[in-house]
Structure 1
Amino acid sequence: MNTTLIQMSVLMLCGAGWRLFSLQGLSADQTRMALTSVVYYFFLPAMVLEVLWKADIGWQSLKYSALGCSTILLGIIFTWLLTKLFKFKNAQTGAVILAAAYPNVTYLGLPVLEQAFGPWARSVVIQIDLFAAAPLVFTVGIALARYYGANMEEKPKSLLGFFNAPPFWAALLAVVLNLNHIQAPIWLEGLLQKLSAAVAPLMIFSLGLALSWRAIHLRNLPYILPVVIIKLLLLPWAAMHIADLAHLRGQFKAAAVLDLAMPSMVLGVVLCDRYRLDSALYAAAVTITTGLSLLSLPFWFGVL
């Protein structure tokens, strides 16, 4: 695990270094937008198709979904109670809830789990993402951002419209092919494997591009402390017990819980920008939880 995190850290630092030295006139945000778009619309669907086509889809998938949804919803409730207790303003409340409840299951979870457990762990990550995290982001997450934010759109976009995206279509196709026991041609299987291999390094580099140390201010620290405690300590502990209730055992439990122990998701920055939440606070939460996860992830890996 330590070797894996060192490798991930070096690649993230390369991305963070781009923010300091904008090569060829491309800013970090421009580069990140280009990379994440290519991953989201091309490389990630190829990985989803490759992994879910061969995955063991059934009761185990429902367990991953139940574990992921329960842990994230529990994080939302815990964080909401804390924001009420300390009387946070709406812009900070929305940002803190998103940062504390939603883990970076794919962009960081995928490369970490693949290196720590092996290629089979990619199936765990993708199923937790597509069957739990992503649906909750595009429904409950957006609803929370709208409620606490100041959306200026005249007509809100349908929540279901967010599921009209390449990864979800690839997942649907993969599940149909999987359940009908259709074998992939050798040439197609090899192509999908090559495309899938590009996902992890591009995601880690993009995560480095998203880190912003300038967003860290003393005024944000009182808001970030609850995020760190809930995201990196409380929710992984809760996920272990929920996994037991869902009858997840052994390496499957370890991989699933570790995926939910990841730091705050990067996508929340987009929601904060769009709905006028405290984007600087959220960016600081992503940066700090990602940095501290280099300590928390080995701890939970050892526990699991």
Structure 2
Amino acid sequence: MYQAIGSAAFLIVSGVLWRLFRPLGSDADQMRLALTSLVYVFLLPALVLLVLWRAPLGMDAVRLALISASCIVAGLVLSWIWFRGRGAAGRTLGTVLLAAGWGNFTYLGLPVLEGALGPWARAVAIQFDLFAATPLLLSLGIILASRYGTREASVSVLRELLKVPPIWAALAGVVLNYLRVPLGRWLEQLLEMLAAGVVPLMLFSTGLALRWVTGWRKRLAIVLPVVTIRLLLAPSLVLLLAIGLGLGKDLRTAVVLEAAMPSMVLGLVICDRFGLETSLYAEIVVISTAIAALTLPFWFLLLS
């Protein structure tokens, strides 16, 4: 776990420093857009296809989807109760709901799970995200952002889902797995080669996306409850659910670690698109990512 966290931290910090010093005059936002587009459209689908084609799929996949959905709903409900009780509304409420509900399940979860538990855990991160988290983000998450933001948008959930290349790869992987289509050696090597670029580029892009904003002390009263929900309370509820569903020790550890991921970086794009508080969300991402370097080893030791 410590080696996985250390490696992830190195790549994230490298991205932060790149944004700060701009070597060769490069623009961090343009570079991040190029890298994330490459990963999202080309490399990540290759990894998803490879993993789900080979992974054992059964009732555990259904349990993972249920746990993922429960994790997100728990974050939304807890944050709504806390902040509505304190008079939060509008853009602020929409921002904290988004940050508390969805974690960085793939961009950080995948490398951490693989580094801490082994290659088999990649399937957990992918199923946790693509079988529930992403569909919920593109439906419920967009509805909430549109409801509480300053810019509404008519969004077709089905159309948004059809625009996600990893979901197409996931569907293909599940079908090929179910039909027991053999994965040829040449194709396997090609997919492995493409998949190898996903983790470092994901983490470096995460660092490029992290930016500090002024006035952070005034927002700590909002940020810290969100971080507590995302890093401690949501994974605690997932742990109870995993025990209740009878998950084995290794799988239970994987889903709790996945549930304990900091707020997703993609939320910055959603905040910009729907007029939520982007600066507040950026601060939540930075602080939750930094604190996760401590809470993830805590969860790993607790579950070990």
| TM-score bin, normalised by smaller chain | over 0.9
Deviation at 1:163, TM superposition (A): 1.1
Task: Write out per-residue CA displacement over residues 216-250 of structure 1, whole angstroms, 9 at most, x where no aligned residue.
Answer: 61121111011111011111111100111222121
Q: 1:178 aligns to what? A: 177
In the alignment, residue 277 of structure 1 is paired with which amino acid? L
Q: Aligned equivalents of 2:126 and 2:80: distance in 1?
A: 27
In the alignment, residue 226 of structure 1 is paired with which amino acid? P
In the alignment, residue 178 of structure 1 is paired with which amino acid? N
Q: 1:198 aligns to what? A: 197
Q: 1:42 aligns to what? A: 42
SS of residue matched to 1:223: helix
Q: Aligned equivalents of 1:91 and 1:26: distance in 2?
A: 32
SS of residue matched to 1:37: helix
Q: Aligned equivalents of 2:233 and 2:209: distance in 1?
A: 25
Q: 1:69 aligns to what? A: 69
Deviation at 1:45, TM superposition (A): 0.2
Q: Aligned equivalents of 1:196 and 1:216: distance in 2?
A: 40
SS of residue matched to 1:104: coil
In the alignment, residue 240 of structure 2 is paired with which amino acid? H
1:128 and 1:216, CA in 2 relative to 1: closer, same or farther beyond 3 A?
A: farther
Q: Aligned equivalents of 2:215 and 2:105: distance in 1?
A: 23
Q: 1:97 aligns to what? A: 97
SS of residue matched to 1:74: helix
Q: Is the 8 A contact 1:215 1:284 kept in 2?
A: no
Deviation at 1:23, TM superposition (A): 2.7
Q: Is the 8 A contact 1:216 1:284 kept in 2?
A: no
Deviation at 1:151, TM superposition (A): 1.6
Deviation at 1:289, TM superposition (A): 0.2
Deviation at 1:81, TM superposition (A): 0.8
Matches within 5 A, 1:24-173: 24-153=24-153, 156-164=154-162, 165-173=164-172
In the alignment, residue 232 of structure 1 is paired with which amino acid? L
SS of residue matched to 2:85: helix
Q: Is the 8 A contact 2:19 2:208 kept in 1?
A: yes
Q: Aligned equivalents of 1:173 and 1:215: distance in 2?
A: 45
Q: Aligned equivalents of 2:175 and 2:280: distance in 1?
A: 42
- Structure 2: gaps spanning 5 or more residues: none
In the alignment, residue 269 of structure 1 is paired with which amino acid? L
Deviation at 1:25, TM superposition (A): 3.0
Q: Is the 8 A contact 1:139 1:159 kept in 2?
A: yes
Q: Is the 8 A contact 2:3 2:115 kept in 1?
A: no
Task: Write out per-residue CA displacement over residues 63-107 of structure 1, whole angstroms, 9 at most, x where no aligned residue.
Answer: 000101011101101111111111113111111111111111100
SS of residue matched to 1:86: coil
Deviation at 1:214, TM superposition (A): 2.7
Q: 1:292 aligns to what? A: 291
Q: Aligned equivalents of 1:101 and 1:195: distance in 2?
A: 30
- Structure 1: gaps spanning 5 or more residues: none
Q: 2:217 aligns to what? A: 218
Q: Aligned equivalents of 1:130 and 1:247: distance in 2?
A: 22
Deviation at 1:215, TM superposition (A): 5.2
Deviation at 1:57, TM superposition (A): 1.1
SS of residue matched to 1:115: helix
Q: Aligned equivalents of 1:250 and 1:218: distance in 2?
A: 40
Q: Is the 8 A contact 2:146 2:152 kept in 1?
A: no
In the alignment, residue 53 of structure 2 is paired with which amino acid? W
Deviation at 1:131, TM superposition (A): 0.6
Q: 1:280 aligns to what? A: 279
